[in-house]
Amino acid sequence: MSIKRIRKAVIPAAGLGTRVLPATKAQPKEMLVIVDKPALQYLVEELVSAGIEEILIITGRNKGSIENHFDYSYELEKTLEEKGKKDLLKIVNNISEMSNIYYVRQKRPLGLGHAISCAEAFVGDEPFVVLLGDDIIYTDKDKGQSPVTKQLVEKYNELQGGTILGVQEVPHENVSKYGIIKPLKQIDEKTVAVEDFIEKPSIAEAPSNLAALGRYVLEPEIFSYLKRTKPGKGGEIQLTDAILAMKNDGEKLYAYNFDGLRYDTGDKFGMFVANVEFGLRHEELKDKVKDYLKDLVEKL
C-alpha cells in the first residue's frame, strides 16, 4: 500500500486568546512574544525543519499582524540595509522567505473542527498536519530529538497511514484540561491504537493520563466527517467528534507519545515559563538570564 507524502500543514489561529487577556485585547495571542519571536514563528520553524512545504494559517478578525509578520517589510529592510545592519536584515529576510504561507479567515468562531474545515480547498486529497497555536514544543537536538512534526510524519509513514494524535502524559489532577486517550492496544514503545478520545473528562472519568497536546496528523477524509458533525457545547464543531466518527467507521486512530517539552502559551503562567526557559537557551541572553535568576533567588 502506498501513501501520499505529507507536505502541508494547517495552523488554526482564529481564537480570541481570552486566557491571556488583557494582552490579547488588540494583539493576536499567536503574536505574543517568547523572548524575541512571536509564538507563531516557533510553530512555522518547526514545520519548516520537518520538511513541510506549504502552510495554511486560519485567521480571524484583528489578526492582520500575523500576515504582516511573515510578509516583506520594505521600509524596515531598506532602513536596515542603509544602516549596514546586515545581521538584522538577514533575520528579517529569513522570516519572509521561511515558507509558502497562505491564509484563510474563519468568519465565525464555531470551534476547532469548523476552523479545520476551512482548510479543505487548501488540503485537497492529501494527508496533512495540524499544529495548535497554544502549544510550543521544544525539542533538544543534543539529545537526538527531532521536531515533533517530523516525529509524527515519520510515524505516519511507518504505520502506512491513519490519524495520529500527538500525546504526552499529564498529571492526573490536570486531565480535565485536555482531550484524554483511552488506549486499545500497544503498537510499539511510544504508539498505541486508540479506543476512545474523551474531551476534558473529570478525574474520575479519565481513562488514562495521555493527553492530546496540539499536534495531529489527519487524513483528508476528515473534511467529510466535519461536515456531518453537529455542534456541541457552546455551538462549536469539535474536531474530536469527527475523529471519533472516522474511527468508528473503521479508520485507523493512533496516539504517539512524542519527545519534547511542551509549553502552554495560551496560559499566563505557561507563557511566563516559556519566556524564562527559552531565555535560558538563547545564545545571546542565556548568561544574563542565568545571572539574573540567581540574583533574584538570593533576594527572595
Please give, one letter per residue, the 3-state secondary structure of the chain: CCCCCCCEEEEECCCCCHHHCCCCCCCCHHHCEECCEEHHHHHHHHHHHCCCCEEEEEECCCCHHHHHHCCCCHHHHHHHHHCCCHHHHHHHHHHHCCCEEEEEECCCCCCHHHHHHCCHHHHCCCCEEEECCCEEEECCHHHCCCCHHHHHHHHHHHHCCCEEEEEEECCHHHHHHCEEEEEEEEEECCEEEEEEEEECCCCCCCCCCEEEEEEEEECCCHHHHHHHCCCCHHHCCCHHHHHHHHHHCCCCEEEEECCCEEEECCCHHHHHHHHHHHHHHCCCCHHHHHHHHHHHHHHC
Give residue 248's pLDDT. 92
Q: Is residue 264 part of a domain?
A: yes
CATH number at residue 291: 3.90.550.10
Q: pLDDT by residue for the chain (300 residues), tens digit each? A: 578 899 999 999 877 777 777 877 778 888 889 998 999 999 999 999 899 999 999 988 777 888 887 777 778 888 888 878 878 778 777 777 777 889 998 888 788 999 999 999 999 999 999 999 888 999 998 898 999 999 999 999 999 999 999 999 999 998 998 889 999 999 999 999 999 988 888 998 999 999 999 999 999 999 999 999 988 767 889 899 999 999 999 999 999 999 999 998 888 899 999 999 999 999 999 999 999 999 999 988
- How many structural domains comprise the chain? 1
Give residue 56's pLDDT. 95
Give residue 1's pLDDT. 56
Q: Which domain holds residue 208?
A: 8-299
Q: Is residue 221 part of a domain?
A: yes
Q: Is residue 152 part of a domain?
A: yes
Q: Is residue 153 part of a domain?
A: yes
Give residue 149's pLDDT. 96
Q: Is residue 1 part of a domain?
A: no
Give residue 7's pLDDT. 94
Q: Is residue 105 part of a domain?
A: yes
Give residue 128's pLDDT. 97
Q: Is residue 3 part of a domain?
A: no
User: How much is the pTM?
Assistant: 0.90
